[in-house]
Amino acid sequence: GALVYQYPRRTICKSGTSMRMECQAVGFQATSVAWYRQSPQKTFELIALSTVNSAIKYEQNFTQEKFPISHPNLSFSSMTVLNAYLEDRGLYLCGAKDSFSNERLFFGHGTKLSVL
C-alpha cells in the first residue's frame, strides 16, 4: 500500500534556530507533495505545493525564504523552518499524491514543532 513516513515526529528548537523535516513516500510515486501547518487550535493551512517539473508554489503568508522545500525525486521531500519563533509552533504535515490518486493525499504522521 501507499505510505508516507515523516520524521522527526517531534522536535524542540530554540527561538531563532532552524529545523528540517523530511517525508518519504513508499509504494507510490510522489509527483506532488503538499506541506501543511496546523497551528494550535486551528485547521490545516497550506504552506506550499511542490509538483515534479513545476516550480514550488507558496501560499500567501508563506515564503521560500522562511520555508525552503526540496523535492528532488519521486519518493522524498523535505522542508526547513528557518529562524523559528513562537508563531511557528504547530504540527507540520506533508501530504503526497501520485498521478493516479485523484486528489487524495497520503499524509505522514506529522512533525510537531515546539519553540523555546
Which residue ranges make up the site for other proteins (CB under 8 A)? 6, 32, 34, 36, 42-44, 46, 49, 51, 54-55, 57, 91, 93, 95, 102-110, 112
User: Please, what is the minimum distance in Å from the beta carbon of residue 29 to other proteins?
Assistant: 14
User: Please, what is the minimum distance in Å from the beta carbon of residue 76 to other proteins?
Assistant: 18
User: Please, what is the minimum distance in Å from the beta carbon of residue 87 to other proteins?
Assistant: 19
Give 16 or 27: the residue with its C-beta nearer to other proteins: 27
Give 61 or 102: the residue with its C-beta nearer to other proteins: 102
Alpha-carbon span 40 to 106, nearest angstrom: 22
Residue 5's φ and ψ, nearest 5 degrees, are: -100, 130
Q: Is 52 exposed, middle or buried (0-12, 13-18, 19+ CB in 10 A)?
A: middle
CA angle 28, 70, 36 (to 5 degrees): 75
